[in-house]
Amino acid sequence: MESLEDMINNADEKLTAEFINYIKGRVKFEVGDERLRDVGRIYAAMRGLYGKYDALAINCFPYLIKHRVTPCLALARLNEEGLIAACEADLRALFSMVIARELTGYSGWIANTNHIEGSKVTMAHCTIALNMVGDARVVTHFESGFNYGLTGRLLFNEVTGVSVSSDFRRMGIFNARVIESGLLSDKMCRTQAILDLGINSSVILRLAPYNHHVIIPGNAVKELETIAGVLGMEVVKYTQ
Protein backbone atom coordinates (compact mmCIF):
# COMPACT_ATOMS: atom_id res chain seq x y z
CA MET A 1 0.00 0.00 0.00
CA GLU A 2 2.89 2.36 0.72
CA SER A 3 4.23 1.84 -2.80
CA LEU A 4 0.80 2.49 -4.28
CA GLU A 5 0.46 5.70 -2.24
CA ASP A 6 3.80 6.89 -3.65
CA MET A 7 2.53 6.17 -7.16
CA ILE A 8 -0.70 8.06 -6.43
CA ASN A 9 1.21 11.08 -5.11
CA ASN A 10 3.30 11.13 -8.31
CA ALA A 11 0.53 10.15 -10.72
CA ASP A 12 0.52 11.25 -14.36
CA GLU A 13 -1.32 14.59 -14.43
CA LYS A 14 -2.42 14.15 -18.03
CA LEU A 15 -4.12 10.82 -17.23
CA THR A 16 -5.60 12.36 -14.10
CA ALA A 17 -7.08 15.25 -16.08
CA GLU A 18 -8.43 12.90 -18.75
CA PHE A 19 -10.16 10.87 -16.05
CA ILE A 20 -11.71 13.97 -14.45
CA ASN A 21 -13.04 15.26 -17.78
CA TYR A 22 -14.40 11.86 -18.75
CA ILE A 23 -16.18 11.23 -15.44
CA LYS A 24 -17.71 14.71 -15.36
CA GLY A 25 -19.17 14.13 -18.81
CA ARG A 26 -20.21 10.55 -18.15
CA VAL A 27 -22.08 10.60 -14.84
CA LYS A 28 -24.30 12.92 -12.83
CA PHE A 29 -22.83 14.16 -9.55
CA GLU A 30 -25.20 14.38 -6.61
CA VAL A 31 -22.31 15.28 -4.28
CA GLY A 32 -19.51 17.80 -4.68
CA ASP A 33 -16.68 16.97 -7.08
CA GLU A 34 -13.90 18.59 -5.02
CA ARG A 35 -12.16 15.24 -4.36
CA LEU A 36 -12.34 14.05 -7.96
CA ARG A 37 -8.69 14.90 -8.64
CA ASP A 38 -7.68 12.59 -5.78
CA VAL A 39 -9.64 9.76 -7.39
CA GLY A 40 -8.13 10.64 -10.75
CA ARG A 41 -4.66 10.15 -9.28
CA ILE A 42 -5.71 6.72 -7.98
CA TYR A 43 -6.94 5.87 -11.48
CA ALA A 44 -3.72 7.07 -13.12
CA ALA A 45 -1.54 5.17 -10.65
CA MET A 46 -3.46 1.92 -11.07
CA ARG A 47 -3.66 2.25 -14.84
CA GLY A 48 0.12 2.40 -14.97
CA LEU A 49 0.34 -1.10 -13.46
CA TYR A 50 -1.42 -2.87 -16.34
CA GLY A 51 1.05 -4.63 -18.59
CA LYS A 52 3.06 -5.61 -15.56
CA TYR A 53 -0.07 -7.24 -14.12
CA ASP A 54 -3.08 -8.76 -15.87
CA ALA A 55 -5.56 -7.54 -13.25
CA LEU A 56 -5.53 -5.64 -9.95
CA ALA A 57 -7.33 -5.79 -6.59
CA ILE A 58 -7.01 -2.86 -4.20
CA ASN A 59 -7.35 -3.11 -0.42
CA CYS A 60 -9.64 -0.11 -0.43
CA PHE A 61 -10.93 0.17 3.14
CA PRO A 62 -7.56 0.97 4.78
CA TYR A 63 -6.97 3.51 2.00
CA LEU A 64 -10.32 5.27 2.32
CA ILE A 65 -10.11 5.36 6.11
CA LYS A 66 -6.70 7.03 5.90
CA HIS A 67 -7.42 9.42 3.02
CA ARG A 68 -11.21 9.90 3.38
CA VAL A 69 -11.89 9.30 -0.31
CA THR A 70 -12.79 6.04 -2.06
CA PRO A 71 -11.32 4.44 -5.22
CA CYS A 72 -14.79 3.40 -6.47
CA LEU A 73 -14.92 5.68 -9.53
CA ALA A 74 -11.37 4.77 -10.53
CA LEU A 75 -12.31 1.08 -10.51
CA ALA A 76 -15.56 1.79 -12.38
CA ARG A 77 -13.64 3.46 -15.20
CA LEU A 78 -10.84 0.87 -15.32
CA ASN A 79 -13.36 -1.96 -15.61
CA GLU A 80 -15.23 -0.07 -18.33
CA GLU A 81 -11.95 0.00 -20.25
CA GLY A 82 -11.54 -3.76 -19.87
CA LEU A 83 -8.77 -3.36 -17.27
CA ILE A 84 -9.99 -5.68 -14.52
CA ALA A 85 -9.92 -4.10 -11.07
CA ALA A 86 -11.51 -5.53 -7.93
CA CYS A 87 -12.16 -3.84 -4.60
CA GLU A 88 -11.64 -5.08 -1.03
CA ALA A 89 -8.50 -6.98 -2.10
CA ASP A 90 -10.78 -9.78 -3.34
CA LEU A 91 -8.68 -12.12 -5.46
CA ARG A 92 -11.56 -14.63 -5.71
CA ALA A 93 -13.74 -11.99 -7.35
CA LEU A 94 -10.81 -10.84 -9.49
CA PHE A 95 -10.49 -14.37 -10.89
CA SER A 96 -14.22 -14.42 -11.74
CA MET A 97 -14.03 -10.95 -13.29
CA VAL A 98 -11.25 -12.00 -15.66
CA ILE A 99 -13.40 -14.93 -16.77
CA ALA A 100 -16.42 -12.61 -17.16
CA ARG A 101 -14.49 -10.27 -19.42
CA GLU A 102 -13.33 -13.12 -21.66
CA LEU A 103 -16.85 -14.58 -21.89
CA THR A 104 -18.89 -11.41 -22.30
CA GLY A 105 -16.64 -8.38 -22.82
CA TYR A 106 -17.82 -7.02 -19.46
CA SER A 107 -15.92 -7.22 -16.18
CA GLY A 108 -18.91 -8.33 -14.15
CA TRP A 109 -20.14 -6.66 -10.96
CA ILE A 110 -18.96 -7.59 -7.47
CA ALA A 111 -22.01 -7.71 -5.20
CA ASN A 112 -22.95 -8.62 -1.64
CA THR A 113 -26.07 -10.52 -0.65
CA ASN A 114 -28.18 -8.05 1.36
CA HIS A 115 -31.75 -9.31 1.55
CA ILE A 116 -33.56 -12.55 0.77
CA GLU A 117 -37.31 -12.93 0.32
CA GLY A 118 -38.95 -15.84 -1.47
CA SER A 119 -37.29 -16.36 -4.85
CA LYS A 120 -35.74 -12.88 -4.81
CA VAL A 121 -32.37 -11.72 -3.54
CA THR A 122 -31.24 -8.11 -3.25
CA MET A 123 -27.56 -7.62 -4.05
CA ALA A 124 -25.55 -4.43 -3.71
CA HIS A 125 -22.11 -2.83 -3.96
CA CYS A 126 -20.67 0.67 -4.36
CA THR A 127 -18.60 -0.09 -7.46
CA ILE A 128 -19.71 -1.34 -10.87
CA ALA A 129 -18.18 -0.94 -14.32
CA LEU A 130 -19.56 2.18 -15.98
CA ASN A 131 -20.50 0.28 -19.14
CA MET A 132 -22.78 -2.03 -17.14
CA VAL A 133 -25.18 0.69 -15.95
CA GLY A 134 -27.43 3.38 -17.33
CA ASP A 135 -28.38 6.62 -15.59
CA ALA A 136 -25.10 6.54 -13.67
CA ARG A 137 -24.98 8.83 -10.64
CA VAL A 138 -22.27 9.64 -8.12
CA VAL A 139 -23.31 9.62 -4.46
CA THR A 140 -21.62 8.91 -1.14
CA HIS A 141 -19.97 5.60 -0.31
CA PHE A 142 -22.27 3.55 1.93
CA GLU A 143 -20.11 2.35 4.84
CA SER A 144 -18.00 5.48 5.22
CA GLY A 145 -20.19 8.30 3.94
CA PHE A 146 -17.12 9.57 2.04
CA ASN A 147 -17.03 10.48 -1.65
CA TYR A 148 -17.55 8.64 -3.96
CA GLY A 149 -19.97 5.77 -4.48
CA LEU A 150 -21.57 4.91 -7.82
CA THR A 151 -25.14 3.93 -8.55
CA GLY A 152 -26.97 3.08 -11.74
CA ARG A 153 -29.52 0.87 -13.40
CA LEU A 154 -28.27 -2.50 -14.68
CA LEU A 155 -28.43 -2.71 -18.46
CA PHE A 156 -29.23 -6.42 -18.48
CA ASN A 157 -32.45 -8.41 -17.95
CA GLU A 158 -30.74 -11.74 -17.30
CA VAL A 159 -27.56 -12.39 -15.32
CA THR A 160 -25.39 -15.16 -13.97
CA GLY A 161 -23.90 -15.04 -10.48
CA VAL A 162 -20.59 -16.72 -9.67
CA SER A 163 -18.82 -17.07 -6.33
CA VAL A 164 -15.46 -18.73 -5.73
CA SER A 165 -14.23 -20.23 -2.47
CA SER A 166 -11.12 -18.92 -0.71
CA ASP A 167 -9.09 -21.98 -1.75
CA PHE A 168 -10.30 -21.69 -5.39
CA ARG A 169 -11.61 -25.28 -5.26
CA ARG A 170 -15.35 -24.54 -5.51
CA MET A 171 -17.38 -22.37 -7.86
CA GLY A 172 -20.98 -21.47 -7.00
CA ILE A 173 -23.24 -20.56 -9.93
CA PHE A 174 -26.79 -19.26 -10.30
CA ASN A 175 -28.90 -17.78 -13.10
CA ALA A 176 -31.45 -15.03 -12.45
CA ARG A 177 -33.73 -12.38 -13.93
CA VAL A 178 -33.22 -8.74 -13.01
CA ILE A 179 -36.46 -7.45 -11.46
CA GLU A 180 -35.35 -3.95 -10.45
CA SER A 181 -32.08 -2.07 -10.03
CA GLY A 182 -30.59 1.30 -9.13
CA LEU A 183 -30.55 3.17 -5.83
CA LEU A 184 -33.49 1.39 -4.22
CA SER A 185 -32.54 2.00 -0.59
CA ASP A 186 -30.18 4.26 1.35
CA LYS A 187 -29.45 1.44 3.80
CA MET A 188 -27.03 -0.53 1.64
CA CYS A 189 -24.24 -0.12 -0.93
CA ARG A 190 -25.21 2.20 -3.74
CA THR A 191 -25.65 0.06 -6.85
CA GLN A 192 -28.45 -2.37 -6.04
CA ALA A 193 -30.36 -5.06 -7.89
CA ILE A 194 -33.26 -7.34 -7.03
CA LEU A 195 -32.73 -10.69 -8.75
CA ASP A 196 -35.24 -13.50 -9.15
CA LEU A 197 -33.60 -16.93 -8.97
CA GLY A 198 -36.84 -18.81 -9.65
CA ILE A 199 -36.24 -20.92 -6.52
CA ASN A 200 -36.10 -20.23 -2.77
CA SER A 201 -33.27 -17.68 -2.69
CA SER A 202 -32.17 -18.72 0.82
CA VAL A 203 -30.19 -21.39 -1.03
CA ILE A 204 -27.52 -18.69 -1.45
CA LEU A 205 -26.93 -18.57 2.30
CA ARG A 206 -26.56 -22.33 2.40
CA LEU A 207 -24.42 -22.97 -0.68
CA ALA A 208 -22.46 -19.83 -1.56
CA PRO A 209 -18.69 -20.49 -1.39
CA TYR A 210 -18.12 -16.82 -0.47
CA ASN A 211 -20.26 -13.74 0.22
CA HIS A 212 -19.09 -11.79 -2.82
CA HIS A 213 -20.68 -12.84 -6.09
CA VAL A 214 -19.63 -11.53 -9.48
CA ILE A 215 -22.75 -10.78 -11.52
CA ILE A 216 -22.18 -11.50 -15.21
CA PRO A 217 -24.48 -10.33 -18.05
CA GLY A 218 -26.57 -13.04 -19.68
CA ASN A 219 -26.68 -16.77 -19.07
CA ALA A 220 -23.11 -18.04 -18.71
CA VAL A 221 -23.88 -21.14 -16.61
CA LYS A 222 -22.71 -23.74 -19.14
CA GLU A 223 -19.54 -21.83 -19.94
CA LEU A 224 -18.68 -21.43 -16.25
CA GLU A 225 -19.32 -25.13 -15.62
CA THR A 226 -16.92 -25.99 -18.44
CA ILE A 227 -14.23 -23.62 -17.15
CA ALA A 228 -14.59 -24.99 -13.62
CA GLY A 229 -14.23 -28.52 -14.96
CA VAL A 230 -11.07 -27.66 -16.89
CA LEU A 231 -9.59 -26.09 -13.74
CA GLY A 232 -10.56 -29.04 -11.52
CA MET A 233 -13.04 -27.00 -9.47
CA GLU A 234 -16.19 -28.41 -7.89
CA VAL A 235 -19.32 -26.80 -9.31
CA VAL A 236 -21.98 -25.80 -6.79
CA LYS A 237 -25.25 -25.00 -8.59
CA TYR A 238 -27.85 -23.16 -6.53
CA THR A 239 -30.92 -25.40 -6.65
CA GLN A 240 -33.69 -26.26 -4.17
For 100-141, the pLDDT digits (tens) are 999 999 999 999 999 999 999 999 999 999 999 999 999 999
Taking the CA atoms of residue 68, residue 73, residue 79 and residue 82 in that order, the dihedral angle to the nearest 10 degrees is -120
Whether the per-residue pLDDT at 240 is higher than 80: the answer is: no
Q: Establish how many alpha carbons lie within 13 A of residue 43's alpha carbon, considering only the half-sphere containing its beta carbon.
A: 27
Whole-number Å distance between alpha carbons of 129 and 81? 9
Domain residues for the domain of 42 are: 2-237
Whole-number Å distance between alpha carbons of 68 and 73? 14
The pTM assigned to this predicted structure is 0.97
Q: Predicted confidence band at 217 (pLDDT cuts at 50, 70, 90)?
A: very high
Whether the per-residue pLDDT at 88 is higher than 80: the answer is: yes
How many domains is the chain built from? 1
Q: Facing residues of 110 across strands?
A: 214
Whole-number Å distance between alpha carbons of 161 and 138? 25
Model confidence over 135-186: pLDDT tens digits?
999 999 999 999 999 999 999 999 999 999 999 999 999 999 999 999 999 9
Q: What percent of the chain shows pLDDT beyond 90?
A: 99
Q: Predicted confidence band at 239 (pLDDT cuts at 50, 70, 90)?
A: confident
User: What's the mean per-residue pLDDT of the chain?
Assistant: 97
3-state helix, strand, coil in the chain (%, to 5): 35, 30, 35
